[in-house]
């Protein structure tokens, strides 16, 4: 699946094109992989624009980048044999020929979806964002926006494992139900159906010690008004803003950082590569012990990847968005 | 000088009232002080409003709070004798009777103005804000807004002492001249006379490692677009916003913190009380060695304190604003 034209505002189906290419034979040290699951993530929107971002933009005609789980069909490298399940940055593609060093084996017993979620980039994002940037202490009140999304559902549960009180914000009654039932949030707020300001006031009588922000915009404006002294604000995503063609205007509120002596920080996962091992070991243990409930929102067929992506940016997904290649 | 009514927007002379009170005799452990110099600072604007801030609002009729340097006239405490020069939180007043523990002696050889500036709260703010929050490394590019103001003039010089490149932003040709001539900024930008975006681009080809923000608003919008990876943004003040009755709108730009993996942090000096000794020792040595040039903007007469304050909020001061009580 390639980028046909740069989306203006909300992406449309016609911005994407499924292209058939002749598949080359794997050369020395290369591996032929058939995709099983494609990851669909908000950051991909940034790569489709030419605006300054942390990675270069996709060229028109290029395959949409993503993490992908696949099965090895042919291997010219001793580390892989046909039938192995692997994960790598293959993009939204059905087949790929890639150098072996770009692939990691998915360990036996790990479901393919987990390799893209709890034990993949999503889990690493929740882990390092919350623990390293947010630095929660036992008893802290941790508020998460996009709390039923891929990263948010894990952040809340990891915060509970750190003995924090957790408050999740999500849109719609189903997601709000998931916050309490699946992700063990102490309080779930449905921003579409509730007065967020009043709900936050009630849920956070001593203020917000850690705010893990996936969405930005007006929800963030309201949370910032309720920070506790020395609060930490983790800027993980700003999904409410990704389709804007011009920056949206909002109230200038940096003065609140002085009022609350607060810290606000952005982060990216590649900076933590030297600690992936540590994080995956811990996440894997929690998962095995049943301490991390996770939910995936799976769409069938690579031809529907754009639709899944557009829906995710609208908040229509319920959990981590994946596409199964059939 | 008392608060007569709460300013709406920009403060006016009529918001203040000079009131004569009967002076009580100093009781046991108390000291009678005659003011010499009053400090005039942006944070005082916040105390005049009822809006949520980091300290409680002044009551109507209350003396405007400030740091003040004075001379001891009578003392009922062994630590002070008449003629001593002292500093304390006396407010905008000509005479005050205060408990001795609220006063610190200004050491011999330290000019009264220095006790309110380089070796006072201003110096401490520059010191901890830059070194502890901003954490500059040798070779870093440090950008300062309000760079010719009380705190900004010191931040630039301390950054030079830390082997950084310094870029100062101030309003008007006189202040821009001071940036280079007095405060040793490598580049001075006059935001009233120059294209700030173009000037920043030229001055910071490798991006901004530390941004020390005293002003907020549009200047901050422009600097944030030029952050370097892992930049630190020190939110010290937002003087451009203090007279607003409603939050001004500006572009939502928290996403930039992700792009640059940047940290943005507010701070207040009382949190560093346990380290004042360290800071004052270092600042005192730099001052004695001639490494910290400082400029004060002195207005004569307590009756003119409101005018000095209003002018400072407009940026009419050239250096640290003080009022000499005559």
Residue of B nearest to A272 (CA): B261
**Which one-letter DSSP state was computed for residue A319?**
S
Q: Cα angle at B249 between B247 and B254, to 5 degrees?
A: 105
So where are chain A's domains? 2-108+296-324, 121-270
β-strand pairing of A30-39 with A95-99: antiparallel
| B263 has a pLDDT exceeding 90 | yes
Residue of B nearest to A269 (CA): B261
Is A259–B217 a contact, with Cβ atoms under 8 angstroms apart? no
**B27 contacts B76 by C-beta, under 8 angstroms:** yes
Chain A residues with CB under 8 Å of B261 CB are 54, 265-268, 271
The predicted structure's pLDDT at residue A53: 65
Chain A residues with CB under 8 Å of B236 CB are 258
- Give B171-188 pLDDT, tens digit per residue: 999 999 999 999 999 999
Chain A residues with CB under 8 Å of B220 CB are 254
- What residues in chain A have their Cβ under 8 A from chain B's Cβ atoms? 52-54, 213, 216-217, 220, 225, 235-238, 241, 247-268, 271
- Per the listing, tokens 């604003």 go with B321
Compute the residue count for chain B.
Answer: 326
Is A265–B267 a contact, with Cβ atoms under 8 angstroms apart? no
**Which one-letter DSSP state was computed for residue B239?**
G
Is B261–A248 a contact, with Cβ atoms under 8 angstroms apart? no
Of A238, A263, A268, the CB nearest to B265: A263
Kindly report the backbone phi and psi dihedral angles of residue B71, in degrees, each rounded to the nearest multiple of 5, phi listed first.
-115, 135
Residue of A nearest to B267 (CA): A261
Question: What does each of the 326 residues of chain A score in pLDDT, given as a tens digit?
Answer: 999 999 999 999 999 999 998 888 999 999 999 999 999 999 999 999 887 666 778 999 999 999 999 999 999 999 999 999 999 999 999 999 999 999 999 998 899 999 999 999 999 999 999 999 999 999 999 999 999 999 999 999 999 999 999 999 999 999 999 999 999 999 999 999 999 999 999 999 999 999 999 999 999 999 999 999 999 999 999 999 999 988 999 999 999 999 999 999 999 999 999 999 999 999 999 999 999 999 999 999 999 999 999 999 999 999 999 999 98
Mutate to test the interface with B, among A50, A213, A264 (most CBs of B within 10 A): A264
* Right CATH for B2-117+295-324 from 3.90.180.10, 3.30.365.10, 3.30.230.10, 3.30.930.10: 3.90.180.10
**Which one-letter DSSP state was computed for residue B22?**
P
Residue of A nearest to B255 (CA): A238
Is B254–A247 a contact, with Cβ atoms under 8 angstroms apart? no
- Give B112-170 pLDDT, tens digit per residue: 999 999 999 999 999 999 999 999 999 999 999 999 999 999 999 999 999 999 999 99
Of B220, B254, B265, the CB nearest to A216: B254
CB pairs A-B closer than 8 Å: 120
> CA–CA separation, A259 vs A238, rounded Å?
23
> CA–CA separation, A264 vs A233, rounded Å?
4
Among the listed residues B38, B175, B182, the one whose alpha carbon sits nearest the alpha carbon of residue B113: B38
Chain A residues with CB under 8 Å of B266 CB are 254-263
- Give A221-268 pLDDT, tens digit per residue: 999 999 999 999 999 999 999 999 889 999 999 999 999 999 999 999
Residue of B nearest to A238 (CA): B255
Q: What share of chain B is helix, strand, coil (3-state, %, to 5)?
A: 35, 25, 40
| B52 has a pLDDT exceeding 90 | no
Is A264–B257 a contact, with Cβ atoms under 8 angstroms apart? yes
Among the listed residues B219, B254, B287, the one whose alpha carbon sits nearest the alpha carbon of residue A257: B254
- Give B266-323 pLDDT, tens digit per residue: 999 999 999 999 999 999 999 999 999 999 999 999 999 999 999 999 999 999 999 9
* Right CATH for A2-108+296-324 from 3.90.180.10, 1.10.1740.10, 3.30.565.10, 3.40.50.2300: 3.90.180.10
> CA–CA separation, B315 vs B178, rounded Å?
14
pTM across the whole model: 0.94
The CATH architecture annotation of domain B121-270 reads: 3-Layer(aba) Sandwich (3.40)
Is A254–B262 a contact, with Cβ atoms under 8 angstroms apart? no
> CA–CA separation, A305 vs A303, rounded Å?
6
């Amino acid at each position: 699946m390639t980028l046909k034209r740069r989306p203006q505002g909300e992406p449309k189906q016609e911005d994407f094109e499924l292209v058939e290419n002749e598949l080359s034979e794997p050369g020395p040290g290369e591996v032929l992989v058939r995709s099983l699951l494609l990851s669909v993530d908000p950051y991909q929107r940034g790569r489709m624009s030419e605006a300054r971002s942390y990675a270069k933009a996709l060229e028109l005609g290029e395959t949409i980048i993503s993490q992908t789980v696949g099965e090895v069909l042919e291997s010219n490298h001793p580390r892989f044999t046909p039938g192995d399940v692997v994960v790598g940055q293959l993009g939204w593609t059905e087949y790929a020929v890639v150098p072996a060093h770009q692939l990691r084996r998915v360990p036996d017993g790990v479901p393919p979806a987990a390799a893209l979620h709890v034990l993949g980039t999503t889990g690493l994002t929740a882990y390092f964002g919350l623990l390293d940037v947010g630095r929660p202490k036992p008893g802290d009140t941790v508020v998460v926006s996009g709390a039923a999304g891929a990263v948010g559902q894990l952040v809340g549960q990891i915060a509970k494992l750190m003995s924090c009180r957790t408050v999740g914000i999500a849109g719609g009654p189903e997601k709000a139900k998931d916050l309490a039932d699946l992700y063990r949030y102490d309080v779930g707020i449905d921003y579409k159906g509730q007065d967020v300001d009043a709900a936050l006031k009630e849920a956070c009588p001593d203020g917000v010690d850690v705010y893990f922000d996936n969405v930005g915009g007006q929800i963030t404006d309201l949370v910032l008004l309720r920070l506790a002294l020395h609060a930490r604000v983790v800027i993980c995503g700003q999904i409410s803003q990704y389709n804007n063609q011009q920056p949206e205007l909002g109230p200038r509120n940096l003065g609140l950082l002085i009022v609350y002596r607060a810290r606000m920080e952005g982060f990216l996962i590649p900076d933590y590569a030297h600690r992936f091992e540590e994080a995956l070991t811990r996440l894997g243990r929690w998962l095995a012990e049943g301490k991390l409930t996770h939910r995936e929102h799976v769409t069938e067929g690579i031809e529907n990847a754009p639709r899944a992506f557009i829906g995710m940016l609208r908040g229509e997904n319920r959990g981590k968005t994946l596409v199964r290649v059939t």
